[in-house]
Amino acid sequence: MNPKLLRIVPILLLVLLCQCGAPQPPRCVRVPAASRVPASTLIATAGKNWSVLANPSRKTEWPTAQAEYNSAVGKLFDQLACGPGDWNSRAAHLGTSIAPPDAWQTDLTKLDAMFPASQVNVHSVGTHQTTDGIGVPLVGWKKTSPVGEKRSPFILPNGLPYNLTTYLAFDRSGPPVWRFPKRWLDNDLAIGSASHQLAADWTAPNAFFWQMCDLDDLKIQNVIMPERFSEETGLYFIQPYDPNKIPIVLVHGLVSSPDAFKNIINTLAPEPWFREHYQLWLFNYPTGNPWLYSGMKFREEMRAACAYARTKGDDYNLNKMVIISHSMGGLVTRSSVSAPGTKFYDAVFKVPIDQLKVSAATRQLIRDTTLYKPLTEPKRVIFMAVPHQGSPVATFRAAVWISRLIHLPKKLTVELVDATIQGVNDALKGSQAKPDMPNSISSLSPKDQSNIALTHLPLPKNVTFHSIIGDRGKGDTPNSSDGIVPYWSSHVAPVASELIVPSGHGVPDNAEAAQEVKRILKLHLQR
């Protein structure tokens, strides 16, 4: 190799390593050139236009006044966000003050970063959803423990995004006051005797979270090495639990993470009725485990979350819960809201559970996986591209090869295999050979015993079901497929509605599917 090139290689490696660190929120270290206007000039411009916006008789001037006000406040915020000192000292330096925090106003001392929403790349999250109005949309960020490290229950890994808007109020004598309302709570702003809408960027906080969070970077690892990432199995509240709102639980599928629903969240977030009545819970789990085992973990996490929720108030809205599930997540969901009887147990074991020659811990694991009590809180379930009868793709040679790479948790490979060998030789048709434990891929085969058992479980009558199914735009139902799941498997009855959308298996990314979710959620409120 050329000696000069040899000297350059270490430098290039160092540069590459420096680029591989964890992503960081945008920080202002220098006021942008366009914002280097004397603060007194910007405050005067904002104050003049605030007076116009406060006067309903000057309504024809409002569009121009709003644009000039927002521009001045945006430049002032650039100055407020840059430089030494804390927020209050920088605000005082500008000749302004910051409103004290309360239930509606953000406590800036609790945030690790805050920056204009315009600095976030939103291309990965569907249509850019914004609301025109007064103020400058911001994203707040509070760091949490990274993926793989323990944190308080129900807290998102990496960090919490906050949808904020800032405006400078001239409501009283003295210096103007910065306010930072929590935009998901506030819609309107009273200026004098006039009412205005607060500006908002609904997409930026959602997009920024997925830029910062590692959950969506671990999709392959979660399949191949599910035990390594079992720490992240759990429910995450996007906002603190509110007993006055109905939980919507999002359950993703194979080789996926909760980011499968980011486009749906992006569609729902701008809707005032959604923010007023609903709250989002994200269920994350390593998708290499067989779905029946993931269903057990889902019920464990749901029961813990519901017990926590009941400490915060009555459970009236908790018992109106909605679950939106995609792909294998639909099997996790359907099994968890259905009374299993002995269908799942009988699909594997041929002797009563008390006759199994296993440890008490293994017996309990089998009981929790196959002979459980269903969840009672969910009252409506939306299936999206769910393989109710399995997927033929799971039997393809490539899928079988990938399936053999999956390393299941010891709890499954040791305890349950031992249970099968020691106590259920009849289930193995007399074979003494060590069986292959099912994993996520093999358990999606149409011939898998758990899938067959699930088809014999009727949909519970106390839950309302809906199906959204993709057909790749070919319109050839009932002979259609979304490329992974054929219609004969994704169709289930009886359901309150079934919608076919022109989509592949990624139905949650489809615009028509998102609109159908909105329709169903509105219907749920009416009933």
Say how many CA atoms lie within 13 Å of 479 toward its Cβ. Answer: 2
Q: Where are any strands of DSSP class E within 144-284?
A: 159-169, 177-179, 188-191, 194-197, 200-201, 234-237, 246-251, 278-284
From CA 368, how far away is CA 376, in angstroms rounded? 16
Give the pLDDT score at 437.
Answer: 53
Say how many CA atoms lie within 13 Å of 421 toward its Cβ. Answer: 12
What phi-psi label fits residue 58: left (phi over 0), alpha (psi between -120 and 50 degrees) or beta? alpha
Band (pLDDT 50/70/90 cuts) for residue 218 is low
CATH no. for 236-526:
3.40.50.1820
Give the pLDDT score at 327.
Answer: 93
Per-residue pLDDT tens digits for 281-325: 999 988 778 889 899 999 999 999 999 999 999 999 999 999 999
Contacts 24+ apart (CB under 8 A), 219-224: 219/255, 219/256, 219/257, 219/287, 220/255, 222/255, 222/257, 222/285, 222/286, 222/287, 222/288, 223/254, 223/255, 223/286, 223/287, 223/288, 223/402, 223/406, 223/440, 223/441, 224/288, 224/405, 224/406, 224/407
List the chain domain ranges.
26-206, 236-526
Number of other CB atoms surrounding residue 275 within 10 Å: 19
Mean pLDDT of 445-470: 92
Please report, as a single letter, which amino acid is at residue 422: Q
Per-residue pLDDT tens digits for 478-501: 899 999 899 999 999 999 999 999
Please report, as a single letter, which amino acid is at residue 500: I
**No. of H helices and E strands in the chain?**
18, 16
Per-residue pLDDT tens digits for 145-183: 988 788 889 999 999 999 999 999 998 788 999 999 999
